[in-house]
Amino acid sequence: MVDDSFRFGDFIERTLQAESTPALVAELKSALGQFGFAYMACGSFGDPERSLDDETIPAVIVDYPEQWQTHYFENNYVTIDPVVTRASLARIPYRWSDLQDLTAPQRRMFAEAGDAGLVDGITVPIHGPAGEVFVAAIATPYLDIDHRRSLSVVNMLVTQAHTVLVGLKHPGAPGAPVSLTSREREYLIWSARGKSSWDIGVILNISENTVNFHLKNAMSKLKASTRVLAIVKAIRMGLIVP
């Protein structure tokens, strides 16, 4: 269940035009829905000095079925839910169905979530500079999701939306301009098209190490902790056009 007509560049433009958090969330939900993901829960966690209604951080957003939300909190699942508890340790997105070493209560929780329409999902953790973690838990009611592509798609959509959300919460002057070399731009473009370092090396007849070297330089210049975030920032700055 993949919408091949979807254009990530158009999604970036629409999110950049969003003037409020609700407008941005609507764009993200619409985009996720095109790939079969109907439900979303997200928020910032990990900083005990801030309350969840602090206006300086992204608010908690939950649109899971109300019946499931009630059942979830009545059973205190928030204390055992690996969708959230493992996010602080994870550096890359993960599918819920790929989680290992689940306890019996956790397996029961997922079974009950499936009965409520949350058949499977993806958690995207985005780590901040002060130890906080922005967690997006994206769920689907469908069994026929294209799992090969869904991780990358959801990761890029959430990362872009989070970047814009931070900008809405912390408006200010732009930082120093970023200048990428022609190789750094070229390799980011190939990465944005879903190519791995090995793929790029084969296409351009260069070593995988060379590709990684230039991509790491680009990530450093863009102050991006992941390749996906570097791609999103480069597109937003007009440095690359995938």
pLDDT tens per residue, range 63-107: 999 899 889 888 888 888 988 788 888 888 999 988 999 999 999
Quick one: 81 and 125 in the same domain?
yes
Residue carrying the six token digits 């204390």: 79
CB 121 within 8 A of CB 137: yes
Residue 220: inside a domain, yes or no?
A: yes
**Which pLDDT value is given to residue 176?**
53
Quick one: 29 and 104 in the same domain?
yes
- Domain endpoint, select from 169, 198, 214: 169
Quick one: 40 and 70 in the same domain?
yes
Residue 174: inside a domain, yes or no?
A: no
**Which pLDDT value is given to residue 39?**
95
Rounded average pLDDT per 10-residue block, the chain, 242 residues: 72 88 91 93 64 44 89 86 84 90 94 95 85 88 82 92 81 61 91 89 93 93 84 79 70
Residue 57: inside a domain, yes or no?
A: yes
Quick one: 125 and 230 in the same domain?
no
Quick one: 120 and 150 in the same domain?
yes
Quick one: 83 and 194 in the same domain?
no
CATH of the domain at 200: 1.10.10.10
Quick one: 48 and 146 in the same domain?
yes
- Domain of residue 128, residue span: 8-169
The residues, any chain, with a CB within 8 Å of residue 185's CB and separated by 6 or more, are 218, 234, 239, 240
Quick one: 191 and 165 in the same domain?
no
- Residue 88: how many CB atoms within 10 A of its CB? 14
Measured distance CA(67)–CA(55) in Å, rounded = 28
Structure tokens at 116: 């409520």
- Domain endpoint, select from 169, 197, 213: 169
pTM above 0.75, yes or no: no
* H helical segments located in the chain: 8-17, 21-33, 66-74, 82-85, 104-115, 147-169, 182-192, 197-204, 208-222, 227-236
Quick one: 29 and 147 in the same domain?
yes
